[in-house]
Amino acid sequence: MSAPIFECRKHRGGRFIVQLKEYRGSHFIDFREWVDDGGELRPTKKGCTMPPDLACQLGEALFAMASQAGA
């Protein structure tokens, strides 16, 4: 597992982890739910990958949504 860029715990012991991944020479940002499987973290199928050039747009959208929600 590459070093997480962002990690937060979710209820019931799960975690959301964001990492930079490489596949066939291209980099991707991976947003994935991970679960504790007998003391070892394992990724689930619940998540998505996106090209890094979309990260700024996603960040702006998330910031706007958080501002609207009063965060």
User: For the segment 34-59, what is each residue's pLDDT rounded down to a tens digit?
Assistant: 998 888 889 999 999 999 999 889 98
CATH no. for residue 15? 2.30.31.10
Nearest to 27 by CA among 54, 6, 59: 54
Burial of residue 33 (number of CB atoms within 10 Å: 0-12, 13-18, 19+): middle
**What pLDDT is attached to residue 1?**
60
Condensed to tens digits (0 to 9), the pLDDT of residues 3-32 reads: 878 888 877 778 999 999 999 999 999 999
How many domains would you assign to the chain? 1
pTM: 0.75
| Distance, CA of 20 to CA of 35 (rounded, Å) | 19
The answer to whether position 51 is within a domain reads: yes
34 occurs within a structural domain:
yes
Decide: helix, strand or coil at residue 60: helix
Q: What residues make up the domain containing 62?
A: 6-68
How far, in Å, are 10, 24, 26, 37, 47 from residue 7 at the CA level? Answer: 10, 25, 23, 17, 13
The per-residue pLDDT of the chain, averaged, comes to 89
In a domain, 1, yes or no: no
